[in-house]
Amino acid sequence: MTVGKEQEWLLGESSWWPNSDGRLLTTRIGDLSPPKSWIYTDPESGGIGWMRQRLKPVGPQILYTSAWSLFFLIASIVPLILPNKVPIDDQLLAIILFSTSWFLILMPYLWYSNANNEIFSIFPLDYISFCLGLIFFILHIIINSKLGWIGFFFFILSWIRTIRNISNSLKVNSSRWLLPISLSDFSQDIFSQGWKISTNKFRNGLIATKSDNFSPYSAELTGVSYRDFNFIAFSMVFRNRIIHDPFNVNFVSNNHINDFLSSPPLQISGEYWPESFIREIEEE
C-alpha cells in the first residue's frame, strides 16, 4: 500500500515507532475516543468531525542527551577532587562540565517541546533544589570548601527531580485533534464558552487558550494550514511544554478537566475531510 504525504502528516511517520514494522496505524495502544457529544471521525471513515493527529514523540529526541548529562554533572567534581591535573584552571573546567550537563538536559527538551503556549515556564527544571545548590556553591567559595559537597548534593537532587519531571511529561502520547474549517466560518461565535481568544481572524499559530482549574494543564486552540487545507487544532498542554492526548488511558484529569472535555471546544462541525487524508489503514 502506498501511503500519501497527507496520511503521514496526520498519523505520523512510521519511523517514529520502530516497532510498527513500517506501518501507519489508525489506532495505537492506549487510545480512547472522545465523548459522544463530540463529532469525531478517523482516517478510515472520513466525513465530518474532529480527527486525531499524532505528533512526533519527544522522548527519543532527548533520551541520548539526557543520559550524557549525568556523566558531565559527575565529571564536574573530578577537577576539584584531583586538583592541578588538567592544563586549564580546575574551577573553570568544573564550571564548563557543569554547564554542559544542564545544557544537555534542558535545551533539547525545551527545543523539542511541541506546544504553542506563549507563557514563560522554567519547567522541567526543579528550581528549588537547583537554587539551593547555587547558594551552597557560592558559600563554599566564601566560607568553607566543604560546603561545596552540600551544593553538589542539591544539584544531584535537582537533576533527579528534573528527570522525573521530564519522565512525567512524556507518559502520554503527543496528539492533537484537528477540525477542517472554511475561513468564512471563522468568527468568535464558533468558540465554546470560556476561551480567551487572541485573534479576530484565522491565522497559523495560537488562536485561543483556556486554563481555569486545569493544573497542570492548559488548553490551546491553534490555527494550522497544510497545503490548501485549513484546520483548527485542539490540544491539552502539560506544564506549558508538551502536548498530551486527552483521550488516552495515561492522561490524568480532574473534575474540571473532565467537565471541560465533556463537550467540544467549538460549536461548529467543520468541513468534510478531504479524500486525500482518507484511506484504509491498519490498526494496532
What pLDDT digit, counting tens, does each position of 37-59 carry? 999 998 888 899 999 999 999 98
E strand segments, the chain: 51-54, 175-180, 196-197, 205-210, 217-226, 229-238, 242-244
C-alpha span between 247 and 172 (Å, rounded): 10
Cβ pair 32, 249 in contact under 8 A: yes
Cβ pair 28, 173 in contact under 8 A: yes
What pLDDT digit, counting tens, does each position of 94-143 carry? 889 999 999 999 999 999 988 876 677 789 999 999 999 999 888 877 88
Partnered with residue 224 across adjacent β-strands are 231
3-state helix, strand, coil in the chain (%, to 5): 40, 20, 45
Specify the DSSP element, H or E, that contains 259: helix 255-261
What pLDDT digit, counting tens, does each position of 60-78 carry? 889 889 889 999 999 988 8
Number of CB atoms found within 10 A of residue 282's CB: 13
